[in-house]
Amino acid sequence: MRAYYHDESNEHPTARHDSTGEYLDLNALKEVGVLAFVNQSLENVDAIALERGYVARDEIRVSKEGLGDGYEAKIKAFYEEHLHEDEEIRYIREGSGYFDVRSKDDSRWIRIHVEKNDLIIVPAGIYHRFTLDSKNAVRAVRLFKEAPKWIALPREPGLETNPYRQQYVSSISA
Ligand code: KMT
Ligand code: NI
Atom of ligand 1 nearest to the CA of 150: 2
Please work out, in degrees rounded to the nearest 5, the angle formed at the alpha carbon of residue 31 by the alpha carbons of 154 and 110. Answer: 55
Q: Which of 1, 14, 88 gets mutated to test ligand 1 (max ligand atoms within 8 A of its CB)?
A: 88
Q: How far is the CA of 162 from the centre of ligand 2 (A)?
A: 16
Atom of ligand 1 nearest to the CA of 152: 2
Q: How far is the CA of 78 from the centre of ligand 1 (A)?
A: 7
- Residue by residue, pLDDT tens for the chain (174 residues) are 999 999 999 999 999 999 999 999 999 999 999 999 999 999 999 999 999 999 999 999 999 999 999 999 999 999 999 999 999 999 999 999 999 999 999 999 999 999 999 999 999 999 999 999 999 999 999 998 877 667 999 999 999 999 999 999 999 997
The answer to whether residues 101 and 127 touch, using CB atoms and an 8 Å cutoff, is: yes
Find out whether the beta carbon of 48 lies less than 6 Å from any atom of ligand 1.
no
The predicted model scores a pTM of: 0.96
The answer to whether residues 103 and 110 touch, using CB atoms and an 8 Å cutoff, is: yes
Q: How far is the CA of 111 from the centre of ligand 2 (A)?
A: 14
For domain 2-173, give its CATH number from 3.40.50.300, 2.60.120.10, 2.60.40.10, 3.40.30.10. Answer: 2.60.120.10
Please state the ipTM of this predicted complex.
0.92
Residue nearest to atom 9 of ligand 1 (CA): 140
Whether residue 156 is annotated as binding a ligand: the answer is: no
DSSP letter at 18 equals -
Output the CA–CA distances (angstroms, integers) from residue 115 to 1, 21, 139, 171, in the order listed: 6, 20, 10, 28
